Amino acid sequence: MLTQLSPVILDRVLEYVDPTSLVNLACTNYQFYSPCLAKLYREIVVFSTCSLVPKTHRKLSFNDKTVICGLSQCHDTVKNLKMVEVRLSALNSALSINSDLPNLVKKVSVFDTFNQAVDNEIVQLLGKISANVYVENDKLRKYLKSKISFNSIIVDHVSDFKDIDELDIRTGHCEQKQLFFSKKRSYVIQNPSFFSYLKKNSLKIFPTSINIDRNTELSVIDMQHLKNLEVSLDPHTNLDFITKSIDLYRLQKLSIVQPDLYDHNRNEKTDLKLIEWLSLHANEFRSLSYLSISYNPPLTGQIVDEFEGNYLKKIEVLETLVNVINTLATPKINLVLPNYLEVLSCYEQPMNNLMWNGCKCGYCSVWLEKLDDFVNFHKYFDESSNYWKDLNNAITLNSLAQNYRCRYLARNNFDMCGSVRFQNWDFHTNHFAPIQFQCCSLQTVYESEYNDGREIYFDTSSTQAPCQYRQLFIHLDICMVHYLQGIVNKLVRLDRGNAESFEITDGDINDGDEPINLQNLYVSGFRFAFDKEMNGTNFYESYYD
């Protein structure tokens, strides 16, 4: 039947076919060979681990990309890098044999850090193609720039162009490629018509650093075609400038960033300001399908106002936000909270409750107890006091959440609903100090520690013994999902569990029958998909875990 389709329709059908099936289809009939190869080689992604496979019968991760990655959930870095090297070598051989294949590659994205052998294979790959290249690691970027001559690059720092301090544009005409150089230490534009070329689909605005009312640049940028908007928001930001200058009807993706270091009261005011603004303009959002809210929690997970009451208020604010989303004119919103789990982990008492009185299922009882043992046998180095201190649950769960967030390959807040990869963590490296968590030969806390009225300290060993907890990370994703399910149940009004149809008919309970306007909820690397049961009850499931 596929052989009877026109090339245009066939290309559209192939967009829904996963890479493995594309390879099989290309081998069945020569008619499918070229269309399948064009899709297989269009976008290539390279990283050291593997992609996450959905637990349900849903769309596969990286369905629209060809992935060069390591072994499936392998924890041996050497084996993973060897597999990446072999796969890159096979790709380079294919590109060398068939001269038509390099022209099919439109984009290459490289994540993670590799060894010298893999770096050399990447250099060979990029030397054979003419495509857009994204490299996440700055050291690898510098290495590639020394080996390959790129036609155009986006630099990391102004110091990369040491001889250019100022750009002066005096002509009325400016090609689009020249816009890459407009972010210099200073620039002078003599003709305002220069901005007529800034017809952007995406725009990032930082109201705290510019005067919205007097800023001429925003007033002359053509925003009629604006689809993606990112705004840096604080309690004092006036959001009226968005409604005055941007057509909310066309807006498809909205990203809110709270750049200040996390403070509960300040961030709660910001959240309420956003909720009030969304409620006021709910009927104007006709195309919005994506809402992202990012916070800036401390890397140590330590905040001043970490009280349990504030934690409960934080959950209530999220419930209120979901209620407002249910009133938006656009059906089915994707709500993305990239680091929400990191924020929740800053409240120590609720995290203690999660660790000691959390989910009591057979799985969580085992692995949460092991996580508690890990905390009791490890210390962290506090740079501010220059002392080793006992690890606590807040720091541990915050580090855990940071590594779950690394599942996202996207570093752009507009693309956080894409595919995710398998992430591993050795439970010792951390993001807030150059020194790893230190293993202790003795337990840091004993039951009788405070009985005599004095506190007992234990020094860490001078040599670090092999730690039994280095493979603990892969077992905790289900525990985190069970914890998040308690929050999601409140969002979809399933506090009493999934209600049976006969109970609803009898009128005993009415759980879960309220409308929900969420299609997916993305929380720190975890994804929940929403739908309705046949009896009308709200339904959700964890996508990967």
The pLDDT confidence band at residue 397, using thresholds 50, 70 and 90, is very high
Strands 538-542 and 526-532: antiparallel
pLDDT at 243 over 90: no
- Check residue 481 and give its pLDDT: 93
Torsion-angle region of 244 (φ positive above 0: left; ψ -120 to 50: alpha; else: beta): alpha
SS3 188: strand
State the CB neighbour count (10 A cutoff) for residue 319: 13
Quote the longest CA-to-CA distance of the chain. 85
- Check residue 244 and give its pLDDT: 77
User: What is the rounded CA–CA span in Å between residue 321 and residue 93?
Assistant: 52
Q: What is the mean pLDDT of residues 91-106?
A: 91
Cα–Cα distances (Å) from 75 to 81, 423, 526, in that order, read 11, 10, 20
Tell me the pLDDT of the chain averaged across its residues: 79
- Check residue 261 and give its pLDDT: 84
pLDDT at 470 over 70: yes
The pLDDT confidence band at residue 167, using thresholds 50, 70 and 90, is very low
Higher pLDDT, 58 or 493: 493
CB-based contacts of 183, cutoff 8 Å, min separation 6: none
- Check residue 218 and give its pLDDT: 58
Q: What order of strands is seen across the sheet that includes strand 538-542? A: 202-205, 228-232, 253-257, 290-294, 333-337, 518-523, 526-532, 538-542
Least confident segment among 68-72, 158-162, 408-412, 439-443: 158-162
Q: What is the mean pLDDT of residues 429-439?
A: 85
Higher pLDDT, 131 or 490: 490
Phi, psi torsion values for 166, nearest 5 degrees:
-145, 140
- Check residue 172 and give its pLDDT: 44
The pLDDT confidence band at residue 91, using thresholds 50, 70 and 90, is very high
Higher pLDDT, 314 or 236: 314
The pLDDT confidence band at residue 169, using thresholds 50, 70 and 90, is very low
pLDDT at 457 over 60: no
Q: How many residues are given for the chain?
A: 545
Of 172-186, 241-255, 314-328, 454-468, give the range with the top mean pLDDT: 314-328
- Check residue 93 and give its pLDDT: 94
Q: What is the mean pLDDT of residues 256-273?
A: 88
The pLDDT confidence band at residue 413, using thresholds 50, 70 and 90, is confident
The pLDDT confidence band at residue 337, using thresholds 50, 70 and 90, is very high
User: What is the rounded CA–CA span in Å between residue 330 and residue 349?
Assistant: 38
State the CB neighbour count (10 A cutoff) for residue 44: 22
Share of the chain above pLDDT 90, in %: 23
User: What is the rounded CA–CA span in Å between residue 262 and residue 240?
Assistant: 24
Cα–Cα distances (Å) from 412 to 107, 138, 257, 408, in that order, read 16, 17, 12, 10
The pLDDT confidence band at residue 485, using thresholds 50, 70 and 90, is very high
- Check residue 484 and give its pLDDT: 94
Consecutive H or E run containing 21: helix 19-28
- Check residue 476 and give its pLDDT: 92
- Check residue 148 and give its pLDDT: 77
pLDDT by residue (tens digit) across 204-237? 766 544 444 545 455 556 666 778 888 888 888 8
Q: What is the mean pLDDT of residues 84-99?
A: 92
Of 189-198, 306-315, 411-420, give the range with the top mean pLDDT: 306-315
- Check residue 194 and give its pLDDT: 44
pLDDT at 474 over 70: yes
- Check residue 495 and give its pLDDT: 60
pLDDT at 504 over 70: no
Of 146-155, 208-217, 331-340, give the range with the top mean pLDDT: 331-340
Q: Which residues lie across from 379 on neighbouring strands? A: 390, 438
Q: What is the mean pLDDT of residues 431-440?
A: 85
pLDDT by residue (tens digit) across 115-131? 999 999 999 998 888 77
pLDDT at 188 over 70: no
Residue ranges of domains in the chain: 41-147, 156-197
pLDDT at 440 over 70: yes
Whether 53 and 60 have beta carbons less than 8 Å apart is answered as yes
Give 25-54 as a DSSP string.
HHHH-GGGHHHHHHHHTTEEEE-SS-BPPP
Contacts 24+ apart (CB under 8 A), 529-534: 529/56, 529/58, 530/492, 533/498, 534/501
